[in-house]
Amino acid sequence: MIDMPQTLTKVDVGNYQTLAHQAGKVIRLGEKEIALFKLSTGEVKAVENKSPHPKGGTLADGLVSGSFVYCPLYDWKISLNDGKVQAPDEGQVKTYEVIVEDNRILLLI
């Protein structure tokens, strides 16, 4: 395979309609685990299912408020827009771009 770091592929990760609000859904793509969040606005956000906290942990089961998720283990507040951890804590989680087309959720990976 040829390494093409600049090219993103669209991956269909599921039905938009049936994705539940306010709870993270874990998607496994090979080795990667991604947490999908459908916000109360209807927007879908995708982040790596891995807390930026030094001790690690997952994010999918955290409490969702607006466009933030609270890390379920250490209660860090993390933006689902840019992945940034809110002060006073520091860090960032990887985010993925999401496109919703014809009721399908597509991730740019």
Partner 1 sequence: MEKKHLVLIGNGMAGVRVIEEILKLTPDAFHITIFGNEPYPNYNRIQLSNVLQGKTTVDEIFLNEWEWYRENNITLYTNEAVAKINPQLKTVVSTTGRIVAYDELIIATGSSSFILPVPGTNKQGVTGFRDIQDCENMMEVARTYKKAVVIGGGLLGLEAARGLIDLGMDVHVVHLMPHLMERQLDKTAATMLKEELEAQGMKFLFEKQTSEILGDDRVTGLRFNDGTEIETDLVVMAVGIKPNTQLAIEAGINVNRGIVVNDFMETNTPNVYAVGECAEHREITYGMVAPLYEQGKVLAHRILGLEVAPYEGSVTGTQLKVSDVDLYSAGEIIDDKSTKAIKVHNEFEGIYKKILVRDNRVVGIVLYGDTKDSTKLFRMLVDKEDVSGKTSASILDSGCCGGSQADMSVDSMPDTEIVCGCNGVSKGTIVEAIQTKGLTTVDQVSSCTNAGRSCGRCKGLVGEILAYTLGDSFDATKTNKKTLCGCTTLSRDEVVAEIKEKGMMSTKEVMNVLGWNNEEGCSKCRPALNYYLGMLHPEEYLDERDSRLVNEKMHANIQKDGTYSVVPRMYGGVTNAEDLKKIAEVTEKYDIPLVKLTGGQRIALLGVKKEDLTNVWEDLGMPSGYAYGKTLRTVKTCVGSQFCRYGTQDTMQLGIDLEKKFERLDTPHKFKMGVSGCPRNCAESGIKDMGIVGIDGGFELYVGGNGGTDLRAGDLLCTLKTEQEVMDMISAYIQYYRETANYLERTSTWIERVGLDHVKEVLQDAEVRKELTTKLDRSLTRYNEPWNEALKNQQIREKYYKTEEIPEVLV
Binding status of residue 28 toward partner 1 by CB under 8 A:
yes
Q: Three-state SS across the chain?
A: CCCCCCCCCEEEEEECCCCCECCCEEEEECCEEEEEEECCCCCEEEEECCCCCCCCCCCCCCEEECCEEECCCCCCEEECCCCEECCCCCCECCEEEEEEECCEEEEEC
Binding status of residue 65 toward partner 1 by CB under 8 A:
yes
Binding status of residue 81 toward partner 1 by CB under 8 A:
no
Binding status of residue 40 toward partner 1 by CB under 8 A:
yes
Our CB check for partner 1 shows the closer of 36 and 95 to be 36
Instruction: Using CB under 8 A, pick the residue from 6, 16, 61, 97 that binds partner 1.
Output: 61
Binding site for partner 1 (CB under 8 A): 9-14, 18, 20-23, 25-30, 33, 40, 49, 55-58, 61-66, 70, 72-73, 75, 77, 106
